Amino acid sequence: MNTLRKNLVIALTAAGLFGATIGAQAQTAAPAEGRPALTAEQRLAKKAEWQAKAGERRAKMEQHRAERQAKLRDALKLNAQQQPAWDAFVAAQAPQKKGERAGRGDRAAWASLTAPQRLQKGIDMQKQRTARMEQRLAALNSFYAQLTPEQRKTFDEQAKHRKGPRHHGHHGKRAHA
């Protein structure tokens, strides 16, 4: 009788675990509560809306960049001989246009690559980014060499406070946890 009771307890426990597993799978398969699943047409409409706003965001970022450059140029009080180096520096700092960037390309093409091919492609893209940074450094060095010691001090001070495009929104010091 004792063995029968143990087998019944084991069977009920197994059935309970199985039921909990099925329930958890059903919950994860359902869309998030409060948010209905989007149809393909709705997803396309959302994507088109996001892309339309992306143009506005790019224009706004370009305007901010031009304002920062004008502020720096005014603070440096450049003379006529320094202007060509400034122009080359500004041109080198301009972000690449969408077609110039080395992206992953088509997701299907990326997914069809083997792991070593994807890693190699990632290394190649990193080399292109490094070459772009070296071009920026060369333009910066050429411009910096044209500056007086006082202008260099001003440039260095302003460059300390400049946040890159991936760091906006975090002004001031952050507490470390």
User: Is pLDDT of 103 > 50?
Assistant: yes
pTM beyond 0.85: no
Contacts of 96 (CB under 8 A, 6+ apart): 132
Q: Determine the Cα–Cα distance for residues 92 and 139; give it in Å rounded to an integer.
A: 6
Q: What is the pLDDT of residues 39-64, one digit of tens each?
A: 888 888 888 888 888 888 888 988 99
Encode pLDDT of 114-158 as tens digits.
999 999 998 998 999 999 999 999 999 999 999 999 999 999 998
Position 177 scores a pLDDT of 43
- On whether the CB atoms of residues 99 and 86 are closer than 8 A, the answer is no
Inform me whether the pLDDT recorded for 112 exceeds 70: yes
What ranges do the domains of the chain cover?
42-160
The runs of H, that is alpha helices, within 77-114 are 83-93, 107-112
Domain 42-160: assigned CATH number: 1.20.120
